């Protein structure tokens, strides 16, 4: 397998795993919604993601550019903006 093909295969696997993780999180939401309001759930997710970004940067797992790229993806998803409209 060429390096390019391996990279594509790795990306496909990564996206499949993200989809599976989203499904697992979605399965948890009804139970959370029975105990917490939507703003509380979203705020907890935001705290969790923000803490993960901080920890990954502190441990040199992500650099600032990678972190900002992920935050940009979050903003585009939240506001439904294509990448070229930022």
In the chain, where are the structural domains located?
1-35, 37-86
Instruction: List the chain pLDDT tens, one digit each, 86 residues.
Output: 688 777 778 888 989 999 999 999 999 999 999 999 999 999 999 999 999 999 999 999 999 999 999 999 999 999 987 666 65
Question: Residue 32: what pLDDT?
Answer: 96
Question: Residue 5: what pLDDT?
Answer: 75
The pTM is what?
Answer: 0.70
Question: Residue 16: what pLDDT?
Answer: 94
Burial status of residue 46 (CB atoms within 10 A of its CB: 0-12, 13-18, 19 or more): exposed
């Amino acid at each position: 397998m060429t390096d390019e093909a391996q990279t594509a295969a790795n990306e496909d696997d990564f996206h499949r795993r993200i989809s599976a993780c989203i499904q697992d999180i979605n399965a948890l939401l009804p139970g959370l919604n029975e105990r917490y309001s939507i703003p509380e759930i979203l705020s907890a997710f935001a705290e969790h993601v923000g803490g993960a970004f901080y920890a990954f940067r502190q441990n040199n797992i992500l650099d600032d550019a990678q972190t900002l790229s992920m935050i940009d993806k979050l903003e585009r998803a939240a506001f439904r903006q294509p990448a070229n409209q930022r």
